[in-house]
Chain A
Amino acid sequence: MNRQRLSTSRLLASLLFVLALVAAACGGSDPADESAEETTDDAATAEESGEDFSDFKVVMILDGSAEDGGWNTTHLRSGLKMEANFPGIDFSYVEEIEPGQPATNAFQDAVDAGADLVIGTTFYQFDMIDVAAENPDTYFLTWAGFEDQPNVGHFTQATEDGRYMDGIVAGSLTESNIIGYPVGFPFEEVNRALNAFTLGAKEVNPDVEVRAVYLNTWFDPAIEQQAAEALANAGADVIAHEVGSQVYATVMAERGGYVIGYTNDWSDFEPEAWASSFLIDWSTYYIQQVEAIIAGEFEPGISYGGLAEGWIEFAPYGPAVTDETLALIDERKQGIIDGTFDMFEGPIYDNQGNLVIAEGETIDFADRNACCQWLVEGIVGEIPSS
């Protein structure tokens, strides 16, 4: 997800820049910690099944730390699963590559190093599209791009498939009927997930109220802390979020409430407060694409995947989630996979009282990416200034 690197540390850094340099030098000077890091090369203890992929090179470019415990960790985990699937394949990654010139250079470096496939884990489209045009023999995959090019594929996850299940958990756990939901920026994918979450919560608890707060950041523990406490003070006893930090778990643990994560398994962090989180598994997609490239059948364009495609998974559920809830979740998951359950089936009203999806209508899976600039009934909050 697009994380903005703006924090109070930047404020400090600008005032104490020389100190910051020194701190960076000292902070990193424990290389013992890092020695274990570059172990990806031997991760594929190839089950000698005959096939050998050692002439195929994949480079993954991560915009943050591979150990961020979130977005990039998910991608690396999926990359390692892909690696294990192709004995001998040459898989490596570079991390902390900011969009803009550094990303363009990193894509070029990967091509120069002989990569057959380069995977970018964030919105790198415009940083790599020229490199892709200049190197037609190398394949490129980036998250959430859209521009067509014969050697470029894009991928986006159907977050809503996972979020609906998280909503069921939240709706069944809340006693105050108030669920807090701090979010990053108000755009389609974010609103769609929030809508799916609310629809899930309302299925089990029609009286529930989801309080959405747009924070305009992807990661800022100080602001997130304030939001978490404000929501808790307003009566929220379950907080779901899609902003980066762990403060929600801390605040909910203090207040005896529950937290729902975002693409992270943090079930060990505050185990009593932990309820659930959907996860993303990109390896299905990566494996398909590598197979297609090797077979000479690569198809450019965008891939959109959810539960049915095997892209969405779930972290272990917390101790408070009942068997009854789990049974309902299994039923809904199966329904989505079979195509018998559609969370966006009308009638659906937005929180201004307008009918947004009429009776008997829905949003086709393929069109979901363009949804939503509205918030479903039950959400307290507005999309700012659209």
Chain B
Amino acid sequence: MNGLTSRFRVSPRGFASPLVRFGVPFLALIVALIIGGLILAMAGNNPFEAYRTMFDTSLNGWSAMTRTLALATPLILTGLAAAVAFQMRVYNIGGEGQLYIGAIAGSWAGLALPPATPAVIMLSAMLVCGAIGGALWALLAAIPKAYLNADEIITTLMLNFVALSLMNYLIFGSQSFWRDPKRTVPGGKRLPDAAIMPSLSGRLHIGIIIAVVAAVLLWWLLRKTSWGFQIRTIGDSPSAARYAGMSVRFKTLAVLAVSGGLAAIAGVSEVSGVTKGLEPRSLATDIGFTGIIIAVVARSNPLGVVPVSIFLAAIATSGSTLQSIGIAVEVVFLLQGLIFLTVTAGEFFVMNRLEFVSPEPSGDSIPGDTTDLPAGAT
């Protein structure tokens, strides 16, 4: 890991000037596009046509923007879910499962209430039901963590599989309340119109507003309230926080409940705004896991989660158009991964300074704690 320290020295920047703050990601993007261009050329494709297509599909014009934003909506919410937990150094890897539970609980409310219920009440009930479901699901991991110090990485991760099995059971394995009995290939009952999130434009629905409001609220909660201060203090040093009289145990429960609730709202947003019924295949598309990546890249800052999600969605949304101009799907995935990886790797140079040093005695080793990234992320 530290094989390079003999030649290079990495030291944290105290303050990143605007030039560094915005210049480095921009340079990283250029580097990614050049490398990607070489790969495209090697694969026999025209890089300029490819980038033009990517831009046209994702960002060029309002209709392209709406599809990027629609794809970003659940990612923002699962990104926030991971971010709030990471702020306290609680590693909730269970966003995926909490999203399923949110979709199950939210669609339950949508199907159980009379179809004539006004949309405002219907959607509110779905959001509340979903969030409570996700929070309770997260507490299954939070309680053992708080009282028995059980590793939440393992428990939240494993609960994803339980949640997936539960969702599959409800649709494929039983004649449950959610399953449409008229369908021979199992699928969920359609939600009534009042339970479907109204469209803002094209496929973009009001879930995006919920997601952005949630981001601002969470930022305010973490930065401007004493609750948030305590969360961050516990994240920095649990023993110091305990010494100062903070209840780490209660905060663990609260933070995981909030985290689970946010991921569950992503599930409600998907089930109500996109799939319009409990459809396991359309819901199990790694939105929760992607949220973890987003939170890490956004350095757990709720306001950073929004642009990172949109950036990731913009890269991802051009998959089918890139294929349709003759680029092999493997090259498409490679290109998407490359751009995201390079730009996010560039963040390292925003936070840190890299210097050449002459091979000298190893007295001045570098402290490892240079970033906010969770352990294992680098």
Q: Does A15 contact B (CB under 8 A)?
A: yes
Point out the residue from A31, A109, A156 that lies within 8 Å of B57, measured CB to CB. Answer: A109
Q: Does B275 contact A (CB under 8 A)?
A: yes
Contact with A along B350-378 (1 / 0, CB 8 A): 00000000000000000000000000111
Would A34 and B328 count as touching, CB distance under 8 A? yes
User: What are 9 A-to-B residue pairs whose CB atoms are below 8 Å?
Assistant: A4-B284, A17-B377, A25-B338, A31-B44, A35-B43, A59-B324, A97-B320, A102-B316, A189-B184
Would B203 and A5 count as touching, CB distance under 8 A? no
Asked if A65 meets B329 with Cβ closer than 8 Å, knowing A11-B157, A189-B184, the reply is yes
Asked if A216 meets B168 with Cβ closer than 8 Å, knowing A25-B337, A35-B44, A99-B279, the reply is yes
Q: Does A74 contact B (CB under 8 A)?
A: no
What is the CB-to-nearest-CB distance from B262 to chain A, in angstroms, rounded to a whole number?
17
Would B320 and A105 count as touching, CB distance under 8 A? yes
Tell me the bound Cα distance from A31 to B332 in angstroms: 11
Asked if A10 meets B282 with Cβ closer than 8 Å, knowing A25-B337, A189-B184, the reply is no
Q: Does A101 contact B (CB under 8 A)?
A: yes
Would A216 and B203 count as touching, CB distance under 8 A? no
Contacts of A99 in B (CB 8 A): 279, 281-282, 285
Would B319 and A101 count as touching, CB distance under 8 A? no
Q: Does A327 contact B (CB under 8 A)?
A: no
Tell me the bound Cα distance from A59 to B321 in angstroms: 12
Q: Does B26 contact A (CB under 8 A)?
A: no
Would A188 and B175 count as touching, CB distance under 8 A? no
What is the CB-to-nearest-CB distance from A23 to chain B, in angstroms, rounded to a whole number?
9
Would B324 and A109 count as touching, CB distance under 8 A? yes
Tell me the bound Cα distance from A216 to B161 in angstroms: 12
Q: Which residue of B lies closest to A33 (CB)?
A: B330
Q: How many A-B residue pairs have CB under 8 A?
A: 182
Contacts of A101 in B (CB 8 A): 67, 70-71, 203, 274
Would B184 and A370 count as touching, CB distance under 8 A? yes
Tell me the bound Cα distance from A4 to B173 in angstroms: 14
Contacts of B279 in A (CB 8 A): 99-100, 126
Asked if A185 meets B186 with Cβ closer than 8 Å, knowing A94-B323, A96-B329, the reply is yes
Q: Does A6 contact B (CB under 8 A)?
A: yes
Q: How many residues belonging to A are interface residues under a CB distance threshold of 8 Å?
A: 62
Tell me the bound Cα distance from A5 to B157 in angstroms: 16
Q: Which of A58-103 contact B (CB under 8 A)?
A: 59, 61, 65, 92, 94-103
Interface majority SS (helix, strand, loop, mixed), chain B? helix
Tell me the bound Cα distance from A185 to B186 in angstroms: 10
What is the CB-to-nearest-CB distance from B13 to chain A, in angstroms, rounded to a whole number?
21
Interface residues of A (CB under 8 A from B): 2, 4-6, 10-11, 13-18, 21-22, 24-25, 28-29, 31, 33-35, 37-38, 59, 61, 65, 92, 94-106, 108-110, 113, 123, 126-127, 144, 146, 156, 185-189, 216, 369-370, 384-386
Would B184 and A369 count as touching, CB distance under 8 A? yes
Q: Which of B210-239 contact A (CB under 8 A)?
A: none
Tell me the bound Cα distance from A108 to B203 in angstroms: 11
Q: Which residue of B lies closest to A98 (CB)?
A: B285
Contacts of B317 in A (CB 8 A): 102, 105
Contacts of A5 in B (CB 8 A): 284-286
Q: Which residue of B lies closest to A385 (CB)?
A: B174
Would B183 and A146 count as touching, CB distance under 8 A? yes
Asked if A2 meets B341 with Cβ closer than 8 Å, knowing A35-B43, A38-B326, the reply is no
Q: Which residue of A lies closest to B323 (CB)?
A: A94
Contacts of B296 in A (CB 8 A): 17-18
Tell me the bound Cα distance from A181 to B295 in angstroms: 44
Contacts of A17 in B (CB 8 A): 289, 292-293, 296, 377
Tell me the bound Cα distance from A25 to B39 in angstroms: 11
Would A100 and B43 count as touching, CB distance under 8 A? no
Tell me the bound Cα distance from A100 to B341 in angstroms: 25
Q: Which residue of B lies closest to A1 (CB)?
A: B185
Would B270 and A22 count as touching, CB distance under 8 A? no
Contacts of A13 in B (CB 8 A): 289
Tell me the bound Cα distance from A382 to B153 in angstroms: 36
Point out the residue from B57, B282, B334, B341 that lies within 8 Å of A28, measured CB to CB. Answer: B334
Q: Does B340 contact A (CB under 8 A)?
A: yes
- B153, B331, B337 — most chain A CB neighbours (10 Å): B337
Would B340 and A24 count as touching, CB distance under 8 A? no
Asked if A186 meets B329 with Cβ closer than 8 Å, knowing A29-B334, A109-B57, the reply is no
Asked if A104 meets B281 with Cβ closer than 8 Å, knowing A25-B341, A97-B320, the reply is no
Point out the residue from A24, A31, A59, A126 that lies within 8 Å of B337, measured CB to CB. Answer: A24
Q: Does B130 contact A (CB under 8 A)?
A: no
Tell me the bound Cα distance from A18 to B297 in angstroms: 10
What is the CB-to-nearest-CB distance from B377 to chain A, in angstroms, rounded to a whole number?
6
Would B93 and A144 count as touching, CB distance under 8 A? no
Asked if A385 meets B323 with Cβ closer than 8 Å, knowing A10-B289, A144-B184, the reply is no
Q: Which residue of B lies closest to A369 (CB)?
A: B184
Would B186 and A187 count as touching, CB distance under 8 A? yes
Q: Which of B155-177 contact A (CB under 8 A)?
A: 157, 160-161, 164-165, 168-169, 172-175
Would B378 and A18 count as touching, CB distance under 8 A? yes
Contacts of A156 in B (CB 8 A): 184-185
Contacts of A34 in B (CB 8 A): 43, 328, 330-331
Contacts of A126 in B (CB 8 A): 187, 275-277, 279, 282
Tell me the bound Cα distance from A35 to B330 in angstroms: 11
What is the CB-to-nearest-CB distance from B354 to chain A, in angstroms, rounded to a whole number?
19
Extra inter-chain contacts (15) besides given A10-B289, A21-B341, A113-B324, CB under 8 Å: A11-B157, A14-B160, A17-B292, A17-B293, A24-B333, A25-B334, A100-B270, A102-B71, A105-B320, A108-B67, A146-B183, A156-B185, A216-B173, A384-B174, A386-B175
